[in-house]
């Protein structure tokens, strides 16, 4: 059986979706699969691509300045996806949080999609997108603003009808399955992503420190600015790890706060150590699933997070973490006060993370592929 795996892009972001893609590509039944993506930074993702033959779209020929800014690619996305030549493949597996699930399925081929989320910028969050900082002043040019609203409408229509080519949806959480049902009127089989739980085992020889930790891509939608505001006011020590386009702005917001520290580049061993020693892991946005909170639990560290999304499925209030209900600094400060009155046992937290292993994800994904003729 000839198999193609199609991912949106391997460009500037290396997050949860790319971790899941690595797990999919590691399956023995997919070791000979070809990989398709709209844009690829081959040096950055060399470990992911491995021995797989990779094909990119015509967007790969665009200047790096444009390729590294996905919003500039929007006018060309539909054409790029439709031009992906998948003729001759028996099975197509799309790994998609936005566009490539709308690919043209060749005659005789079958298409299943692991959907991370319906694209927020054209569905539930499109008004905020077209009026927000993502377009950097475009809203002040009436013609361009109206054009962007029109473009989102066109992409939304294409996304709805293009998803008809998906024979079966797989997804990361019941929260996303609900969004798939809402926007595409389709069911989604939930297969939670996993982590290497043993890698994050609590270290009994290491005492908890006095800091809280954020492990995240530094992007506006992560709401890290409200975490900074809450910790500036509370005085608790905060360590922020990760990198991204919002880094300079966030460092500016934290300027002068001696209790807030950025460690943007850390290796895996350092990340594990930071999670093991932290008092709690902080997350202030609604995630579709949320891999980093599971890593924190595996390390024996509770989670303080904004209620909603996948976090509501993986964190139990009072047992493995604390929720706050509004995306505001005040709501987070109240959660910090509640946290101070609680005790969490690292062994209980680690056990909770064992429900989300890579081995379990791979087995469940392999089981789903058996219906399409792929068996170990």
DSSP states along 312-339: HHH--BTTTEEEESSSSHHHHHHHHHHH
Domain containing residue 269: CATH number: 3.40.50.2000
Residues 147 and 224 in one domain: no
CA angle 159, 165, 170 (to 5 degrees): 85
**Is position 297 within any domain?**
yes
**Rounded-to-integer distance, Cα 176 and Cα 180, Å:** 6
**Per-residue pLDDT band at 74 (split at 50, 70, 90):** confident
With a cut of 80, say whether residue 175 has pLDDT above it: yes
Token pair of 42, please?
């081959």
Whether residue 344 sits in one domain with residue 301: yes
Q: Are residues 49 and 116 in the same domain?
A: yes
In a domain, 332, yes or no: yes
For residues 279 and 334, state if they share a domain: yes
CB burial string 293-311: b at 16+ within 10 A, e below = bbbbbbbbbbbbbbbebbb
Percent of the chain with pLDDT over 90: 72
* Same domain (yes/no): 227, 300: yes
Q: Given this model, what pLDDT does residue 376 score?
A: 64
**118 and 237 part of one domain:** no
Q: 375 lies in a domain? A: no
Q: Does residue 172 belong to any structural domain of this protein?
A: yes
Assess contact for 236 and 258: CB atoms under 8 A.
no
Average pLDDT over residues 216-231: 92
The reply to whether 20 falls in a domain is yes
Number of domains in the chain: 2
pLDDT tops 80 at residue 203:
no
Asked if 286 and 313 sit in the same domain, the reply is: yes
Residues 291 and 364 in one domain: no
| Residues 303 and 164 placed together within one structural domain of the fold | no
* 30 backbone φψ class: left, alpha, beta (φ>0; ψ -120 to 50): alpha
Q: Same structural domain for residues 44 and 184?
A: yes
C-beta separation of 224 from 216 below 8 A: yes
What pLDDT score does 178 carry? 96
Tokens representing 60?
């790969």
**Which candidate, 133, 174, 130, places its Cα nearest to that of 149?**
130
Q: Evaluate if residue 367 carries a pLDDT over 70.
A: yes
Q: What is the pLDDT of residues 76-131, one digit of tens each?
A: 999 999 999 999 999 999 999 989 999 999 999 999 999 999 988 888 876 666 55
Would you say 184 and 168 are in contact if contact means Cβ atoms under 8 Å apart? Answer: no
pLDDT band (50, 70, 90) for residue 365: very high
Encoded tokens for 253: 């917001």
**pLDDT surpasses 90 at 281:** yes
Question: Above 80 in pLDDT, residue 70?
Answer: no
Q: Give the three-state DSSP class for 155.
A: helix
- Choice between 376 and 38, residue whose per-residue pLDDT is larger: 38
**What's the domain range around 146?**
3-194+358-370
pLDDT at position 278 over 80: yes
Helix H or strand E encompassing 354: none
Residue 51 contacts by C-beta under 8 Å, 6 or more apart in sequence?
Answer: none
Cβ contacts of residue 319 below 8 Å, gap of 6+?
Answer: 348, 352
Is residue 296 a contact partner of residue 278, using CB atoms and an 8 Å limit? yes
In sequence order, what are the beta bridge partners of 282?
A: 304
Cα separation of 288 and 119, whole Å?
11
Mean pLDDT of the chain: 90
Paired residues of 35 in beta bridges? 5, 54
Q: Give the number of other CB atoms < 10 A from CB of residue 228.
A: 23
The two beta strands, 321-324 and 303-306, are parallel
pLDDT at 141: 61
Residues 301, 366 within the same domain: no
Q: What is the pLDDT of residues 286-326, one digit of tens each?
A: 999 999 999 999 999 999 999 999 999 999 999 999 999 99
Q: What is the layout of strands, in order, in the sheet containing 54-56?
A: 54-56, 34-37, 3-7, 91-96, 110-115, 168-171, 188-190
The candidate with the shortest Cα–Cα distance to 37, out of 62, 63, 15, 11, is 11
Question: What is the CB-side half-sphere exposure of residue 289 using CA atoms within 13 A?
Answer: 24
Neighbours of 248 (CB within 10 A): 9
Q: Tell whether 58 and 204 lie within a shared domain.
A: no
376 in a domain, yes or no?
no
Q: Is residue 28 part of a domain?
A: yes
Pick from 40, 51, 47: which is nearest to 19 by CA? Answer: 47
Residue 320 included in any domain: yes
């Amino acid at each position: 059986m000839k198999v193609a795996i199609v991912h949106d892009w391997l460009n500037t972001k290396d997050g949860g979706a790319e971790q899941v893609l690595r797990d999919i590509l590691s399956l023995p039944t997919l070791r000979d699969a070809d990989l398709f993506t709209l844009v690829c930074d081959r040096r950055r993702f060399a470990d992911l691509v491995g021995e797989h033959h990779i094909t990119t779209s015509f967007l790969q020929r665009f200047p790096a300045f444009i390729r590294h800014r996905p919003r500039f690619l929007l006018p060309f996305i539909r054409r790029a996806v439709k031009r992906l030549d998948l003729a001759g493949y028996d099975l197509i597996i799309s790994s998609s949080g936005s566009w490539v699930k709308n690919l043209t399925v060749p005659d005789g081929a079958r298409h299943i999609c692991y959907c991370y989320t319906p694209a927020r910028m054209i569905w539930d969050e499109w008004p905020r997108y077209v009026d927000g900082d993502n377009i950097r002043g475009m809203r002040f040019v009436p013609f361009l603003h109206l054009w962007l609203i029109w473009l989102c409408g066109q992409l939304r229509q294409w996304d709805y009808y293009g998803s008809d080519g998906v024979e079966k949806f797989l997804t990361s959480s019941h929260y996303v399955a609900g969004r798939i049902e809402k926007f595409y009127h389709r069911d989604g089989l939930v297969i939670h992503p996993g982590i290497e739980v043993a890698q994050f085992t609590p270290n009994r020889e290491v005492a908890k420190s006095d800091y809280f930790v954020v492990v995240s891509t530094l992007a506006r939608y992560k709401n890290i600015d409200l975490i900074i505001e809450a910790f500036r006011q509370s005085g608790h020590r905060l360590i922020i790890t990760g990198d991204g386009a919002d880094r300079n702005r966030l460092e500016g917001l934290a300027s002068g706060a001696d209790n807030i520290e950025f460690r943007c580049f850390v290796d895996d061993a350092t990340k594990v150590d930071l999670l093991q020693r932290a008092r709690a892991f902080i997350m202030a946005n609604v995630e579709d699933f949320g891999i980093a909170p599971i890593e924190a639990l595996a390390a024996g560290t509770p989670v303080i997070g904004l209620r909603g999304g996948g976090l509501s499925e993986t964190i139990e209030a009072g047992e493995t973490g604390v929720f706050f209900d509004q995306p505001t600094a005040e709501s987070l400060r109240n959660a910090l006060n509640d946290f101070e009155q609680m005790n969490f046992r690292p062994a209980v937290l680690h056990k909770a993370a064992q429900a989300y292993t890579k081995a379990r994800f791979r087995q469940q994904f392999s089981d789903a592929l058996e219906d399409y003729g792929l068996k170990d």
